[in-house]
Amino acid sequence: MRDKGKLRTRGPRSLDSIVVGYYRGNELKIRDEQVQLPEETANVLVILTPDVFFRAGGLSRVAREVEDGVFKYDQVHLVILHGEYIGESEGPSTCEVGEHRYTRRIVDGFAEHDLILVNRHSQKKLSENLFSKFFRSF
């Protein structure tokens, strides 16, 4: 911002304010996308988030924050956060985060990250067959 010919800047933003802004953006993205989904069936949202796993303060925090934005929508059964970057500094892995699953794999020099979040509150569920296909694919 300019003030009497001098350039003034605000202090650096804290990591928490960046993370809160990031989650708020994803929450708005989920809100905007879910209104386009049919309410009578279970649905899956896939959100491309290249850097969520770097800036967000751990998988548990990512899962918790996205849950808050998803669990209020009955027609959303799964949310898949997908990110990728160039590099192979860490090897492939899979772990459970509560009832959700995180997977990291290396594909053609890219590290792909996926976090599948299951909306346990949703009354509309994917078939067991379709559900297992998502877990095998991501």
Report the pLDDT value the prediction gives residue 24, as an integer from 0 to 100.
61
User: 70-74 long-range contacts, Cβ below 8 Å, gap at least 24?
Assistant: 70/30, 70/45, 70/117, 70/119, 71/119, 71/120, 71/121, 71/122, 73/30, 73/34, 73/119, 73/122, 74/39, 74/121, 74/122, 74/123, 74/124
Q: What is the pLDDT of residue 56?
A: 63
Distance CA(102)–CA(78), nearest Å, equals 13
- The mean pLDDT of the chain is 76
pLDDT at site 13: 37
Q: Taking a C-beta distance cutoff of 8 angstroms, is the pair 117, 27 a contact?
A: no
Q: Which pTM does this prediction carry?
A: 0.74
Among residues of the chain, what percentage have pLDDT more than 70? 75
